[in-house]
Structure 1
Amino acid sequence: MDKKEFRVLIKYCFLKGKNTVEAKTWHDVEFPDTAPGKSTIKDWHTKFRRVEMSTEDDERSGCPKEMVSDENILKIHKMVLNYRKLRLNEMADTLNISTEPVHHIIHEYMDMRKLCAKWMPRELTFNQKQRRVDDSEQCLKMIKHNKPEFLRRYVTMDETWLHHFTPKSKRRSSEWTVRHDEPTPKRGKTQQSAGKFMASIFWDAHGIIFIDYLEKRRTINSDYYIALLDRLNEEITENNRI
């Protein structure tokens, strides 16, 4: 049953003197899978009592059919292809129509949606992308040749920001209560401190090799990463991880 038919039934229950609880019980028995919720029945019941609602569907503005023409669809399609960041009001102003038919054409006829660009530190050049492909293929060959030895010698790293103070999560601050009527524990709202520093962590199959903490006012550039790799080489040699 659709919404209009349910409104008719609820008004029938109202005219028969049934309250919202009785109407809800009757609907659950007769239409267990599609019956409206308790709040919906209560809301409709109140509007029927105040004569603020009828059993007919409300009029909707809709989209004028003359605006959704093949000509407008073709024009909007060309505009979007020429400039993907074009906004609805800009297309509507160009065609001298409202934004509603433009929105209707883009979503219903062209099946398009607008997505935000994914942020990334910087775009790689063709040579950098090819270098990553070559390195990945070389690693795959080494794995196939001797997987245990490759995993033993493989070293990876990651970077993370560490705040000077990080508040406990809601789960970590939970406490056991002795009685059911015991009040809920309270704690003041805290935020992460603004002060933070970056940690670079290197590890292999045996565990962490070393952690480097970025010095204040130190610039992250190629010299910084070269120094990190030199230190990594020294740590691996000293710990006999070759």
Structure 2
Amino acid sequence: MKIVYGETCVDVSTVRRWSKELAGTSPTETDLHDKARCGRPNTVNDIPHQERVDEIVQANRRIKVREISEMLGISTGSAQFIIHDVLGYRKLCARWVPHMLSPEMKLNRSRVSQELLAQYTDEGEAFLRRIVTGDETWVHHYDPENKKQSKEYRHIGSPCPKKFKVVPSAKKVLMTVFWDCEGLVHIDFLKQGSTVNSDRYIETLRKLRARLTRVRPRQRPSAHESANSRCHEKSPILRNLTTPIIQSRPCSI
């Protein structure tokens, strides 16, 4: 062996000593891997540290692992192990919602939904076919096309088409649109310099009624106010309309 391995080979005395120690021993004692042992006692992942981390997280749900490790004087790995593996916490992003509804708004939504469901139970699909929904939106005089709309067919290796970056025009007009289950019914634009008030909204409803008599002569429509038309709810003329009004739910769009 010395001829083959040279100086890296152990000497004869070492081989004899190993042979004498291993002679007569069981196969399990000849394992060359490290044996299991208790090691250094764990002084971090204990009940006091777990309770303290739980208190810190409940006090500040956005706290960082690094801040917890600095407060308790432990490593970030130990703090993360306690948070995720021991306490079972997960850090989740906030979910975007259109509106933060108050308890009164939620109660009103529930009440209106129950009324609509009861009316649908009584009349069936005929009730849905009679609903005319209206809403308002701002329409810009010019809306630039998006990147998907500007796609062009090109050969491989051809340069990409270029376009100037433009923004929607500053000038815009308020559009009031009404539709039902069959499609668009009426569109009304606000004249320049005018404001949306009860009188203007009543005039729009009169135009809508005249339009309905022409395009839906056999139906008895039910007007549906949008959630952003609060200034029209106090109008006495709306309360005296022969067409039934469906109460809108706040922030339902």
TM-score by length of 2: 0.52
Answer yes or no: is 1:115 the counterpart of 2:92.
yes
Question: What is the aligned partner in structure 2 of residue 188 from structure 1?
Answer: 163
* Distance in 1 between residues matched to 2:165 and 2:86, nearest whole Å: 49
* Distance in 2 between residues matched to 1:130 and 1:117, nearest whole Å: 24
Q: State which structure, 1 or 2, has the greater radius of gyration over its C-alpha atoms.
A: 2
- Alignment check: 8 A CA contact 1:161 1:196 kept: no
Q: How many residues align?
A: 173
* Distance in 2 between residues matched to 1:127 and 1:146, nearest whole Å: 29
Question: What is the aligned partner in structure 2 of residue 204 from structure 1?
Answer: 180
Q: 1:238 aligns with which of 196, 205, 210?
A: 210
Equivalent position SS for 2:84: helix
Bigger proportion of residues as helix? 1
Equivalent position SS for 1:192: coil
Q: Which runs of 5+ in 2 are unaligned?
A: 1-40, 222-253
Q: Which runs of 5+ in 1 are unaligned?
A: 1-63
Equivalent position SS for 1:208: strand
* Distance in 1 between residues matched to 2:129 and 2:200, nearest whole Å: 21
Match runs of 1:1-242 below 5 Å = 66-120=43-97, 123-158=100-135, 162-176=139-153, 183-184=158-159, 186-193=161-168, 195=170, 197=172, 199-211=175-187, 224=196, 230-231=202-203, 233-239=205-211, 240=213, 242=221
Across the aligned residues of Structure 1 and Structure 2, the Cα RMSD in angstroms comes to: 3.8
- Alignment check: 8 A CA contact 1:201 1:210 kept: yes
- 1:118 is displaced (CA, Å) by 3.9
Percent identity over the alignment is: 29
